[in-house]
Amino acid sequence: MKGVSTVRLPDEIETKIKIKANMEHRSISEQIKKYITDGMLSEEYPDLPLSFVKKTLEAKKEIEAGIGKEYEFGIIH
Residue 50 maps to a domain: yes
**Is the alpha carbon torsion for 26, 28, 41, 13 positive or negative?**
positive
Q: Are 27 and 21 in contact (CB under 8 A)?
A: yes
Task: State the average pLDDT for the chain.
Answer: 92
Look at residue 73 in the predicted model and tell me its pLDDT.
84
* Four-CA torsion 29, 31, 37, 42, nearest 10 degrees: -150
Does 36 map to a domain? yes
Distance CA 4, CA 2 (A): 7
Number of compact structural domains in the chain: 1
Residue 73 lies in a domain: no
Q: Taking residues 54-76, what's their average pLDDT? A: 86
| pTM, to two decimals | 0.74
- Domain span at residue 19 reads 11-64
